[in-house]
Chains A and B, each alone.
Chain A
């Protein structure tokens, strides 16, 4: 078969919604796009452990502490599933870490915002995980098999994340005046960054068209963002809180909520490394990695020694 034949077979599979599997022929750019997207997604899970992780030791009750710990641990698991999916494309986890630590690979900008109150644990679960789920549910049908399977597992596990976040806010909103204030303050800080999670608007998203064509992406950034706004407004009303957007209103004609313009300057600033916590997050990851080097080396050295011993034992016998 010629490259053109391969290309044709690949295109046909995509059109017929047949999953692409690791050993199948795929265009270089498809592979590259997937590695970029999956590793970025994995990095987001891993870096995403940090803003919530720093409240584990301060959670206000033993139940909340256990739930938060389990949730942050799930994120580690999700990162792991995604790294594994990317590894089927011929890149190693260490190479992906290298890209993260040197700033070559991106991760979701939302995690560069600081978590300054307990209500943020609620807002992250509700808004940030809510936005992530919008994306992830769509990705369960993405064209690359290992990625889609990882997403199915992740979505299954993720369903408690949003609920626990919302429950935190609901409990607080039924509490004292100061707790309600804390909730509102948190929503004010997380709303816009959550909308930014869907990425640049469609006319500014150079990769969208090709990704849609390859069925790596199933919906455009703006489509998913709109869907998120539509479902979130009602959830916010139940909390008795306000979303910080004066332009937010129901548009009968469109059948959707209209909402205000995202501050794209802020978006690009954070993406480009100038957000409030970019430096801390990367430092924390790099430190964990570097401090762990001797541990990883030791374990590997131990297993090598044991293999050698087993070999010489067999010889002796």
Chain B
């Protein structure tokens, strides 16, 4: 059960951290219509995160006390467990530190310019589309339900980011260069999506989770067809920026959490 919770948290953390990053664009987009579009996408991810966190909290609350203890390194969560209190979506989002977060490194990378945001979205949306298609078949009905709802959303996200890759790639000389540079910069982070952790392997074997490694060739095929249309080059080189799924993060996550969790940390235990 512990691994099922950690697996669910990985999905939740991906959605939260990535949605948080996108929400930073709100009010600062290059054109009003796209400001609104990006915020819609951000809201979709926030909704996904909540679905997964609620499920993880329910799974956790159902555990016997002994199994709850020590699952997280968070002092505040451990306190709650000690007091016998149930936890909820916000406890999971707001009370864990970076070494309890399991999101992919790519989701926490800074927004950069529009091309960087588009490249990050393009890699991640294409992956999510394949991933949720499989997760719909999970024998965990809650995970399957969130995946089914999310699939409609990410289908749209994938279209949005693919179209922008094409527009920027096949736009002006400047946009072509920026788009290529962004694809290259984020390429090293894409390997992590497909590397299976022990938790993921166990979930995949038990038909609860997705065999991400098996999605790689389709993902690459999807990516290449868009990159070709955009007159861009598929980046080369190693893809070793990896570790988020094993709670080893880049420096960026700490700052995200410092901001995200500020109120809960400064005024602990209050209702807002």
A73 lies within 8 A of B36 (CB)? yes
**Shortest beta-carbon distance, A57 to chain B, in Å?**
5
A53 lies within 8 A of B26 (CB)? yes
Given known A62-B89, A178-B267, A291-B113, contact A76–B30 (CB-CB < 8 A):
no
B267 lies within 8 A of A179 (CB)? yes
When distances are taken between beta carbons in the complex, the residues of chain A under 8 Å from B49 are: 62
**A70 to B113 Cα, complex, angstroms:** 23
A36 at the interface (CB under 8 A from B): no
**A93 to B53 Cα, complex, angstroms:** 42
A119 and chain B: residue at smallest CB distance: B272
B27 at the interface (CB under 8 A from A): yes
When distances are taken between beta carbons in the complex, the residues of chain B under 8 Å from A65 are: 23, 46
B219 at the interface (CB under 8 A from A): no
Given known A57-B260, A297-B171, A298-B168, contact A62–B90 (CB-CB < 8 A):
yes
B172 lies within 8 A of A69 (CB)? no
When distances are taken between beta carbons in the complex, the residues of chain B under 8 Å from A299 are: 167-168, 171
When distances are taken between beta carbons in the complex, the residues of chain A under 8 Å from B42 are: 69
A118 lies within 8 A of B272 (CB)? yes
**Shortest beta-carbon distance, A201 to chain B, in Å?**
32
A296 at the interface (CB under 8 A from B): yes
> Which residues of B from 151 to 170 have beta carbons under 8 Å from A?
166-168, 170
When distances are taken between beta carbons in the complex, the residues of chain A under 8 Å from B76 are: none
Given known A64-B272, A69-B26, A69-B46, contact A296–B31 (CB-CB < 8 A):
yes
**Shortest beta-carbon distance, B134 to chain A, in Å?**
26
**A287 to B114 Cα, complex, angstroms:** 13
Q: Is the interface of B mostly helix, strand, loop or mixed?
A: helix
Total chain B interface residues with beta-carbon distance under 8 A:
48
B110 at the interface (CB under 8 A from A): no
B259 at the interface (CB under 8 A from A): yes
B175 at the interface (CB under 8 A from A): yes
B47 at the interface (CB under 8 A from A): yes
When distances are taken between beta carbons in the complex, the residues of chain B under 8 Å from A1 are: none
Given known A58-B263, A178-B267, contact A295–B168 (CB-CB < 8 A):
yes
B198 at the interface (CB under 8 A from A): no
A292 lies within 8 A of B167 (CB)? no
> Which residues of A from 162 to 187 have beta carbons under 8 Å from B?
168, 171-172, 174-176, 178-179
**A148 to B36 Cα, complex, angstroms:** 23
B83 at the interface (CB under 8 A from A): no
**A179 to B40 Cα, complex, angstroms:** 31
A292 lies within 8 A of B30 (CB)? yes
Number of A-B pairs, beta carbon distance below 8 Å: 141
B32 at the interface (CB under 8 A from A): yes
B264 lies within 8 A of A60 (CB)? yes
A298 lies within 8 A of B175 (CB)? yes
A297 lies within 8 A of B272 (CB)? no
**Shortest beta-carbon distance, B52 to chain A, in Å?**
11
A57 lies within 8 A of B272 (CB)? no
> CB-CB contacts of B169-187 with A at 8 A, as 1s and 0s?
0111011001000000000
When distances are taken between beta carbons in the complex, the residues of chain A under 8 Å from B30 are: 288, 291-293, 295-296
A66 lies within 8 A of B47 (CB)? yes
> CB-CB contacts of A78-89 with B at 8 A, as 1s and 0s?
011001000000
Name A60's contact: one of B23, B46, B167, B263 (CB within 8 Å). Answer: B263
B168 and chain A: residue at smallest CB distance: A298
Given known A56-B23, A57-B259, A179-B270, contact A297–B32 (CB-CB < 8 A):
no
> Which residues of B from 1 to 55 have beta carbons under 8 Å from A?
16, 20, 23-24, 26-33, 35-36, 39-40, 42-43, 46-47, 49-50, 53
B272 lies within 8 A of A171 (CB)? yes
A77 at the interface (CB under 8 A from B): yes
A227 at the interface (CB under 8 A from B): no
B85 at the interface (CB under 8 A from A): no
**Shortest beta-carbon distance, A78 to chain B, in Å?**
11
A301 lies within 8 A of B172 (CB)? yes
When distances are taken between beta carbons in the complex, the residues of chain B under 8 Å from A171 are: 271-272
B35 and chain A: residue at smallest CB distance: A76
B263 lies within 8 A of A298 (CB)? no
**A287 to B30 Cα, complex, angstroms:** 9
**A287 to B16 Cα, complex, angstroms:** 27
A73 lies within 8 A of B43 (CB)? yes
**A76 to B36 Cα, complex, angstroms:** 7
**Shortest beta-carbon distance, A153 to chain B, in Å?**
14
> CB-CB contacts of A253-284 with B at 8 A, as 1s and 0s?
00000000000000000000000000000001
B93 at the interface (CB under 8 A from A): yes
**A70 to B23 Cα, complex, angstroms:** 10
Q: Can you give 15 A-B contacts (C-beta < 8 A)? A: A57-B256, A58-B260, A61-B94, A62-B46, A62-B53, A69-B26, A69-B43, A72-B27, A83-B32, A168-B272, A176-B267, A179-B270, A291-B114, A292-B31, A298-B172
Q: Besides A76-B39, A305-B170, 13 other CB < 8 A contacts?
A: A46-B27, A57-B20, A62-B16, A62-B49, A69-B39, A70-B43, A73-B35, A178-B270, A284-B28, A295-B168, A298-B167, A298-B171, A302-B168
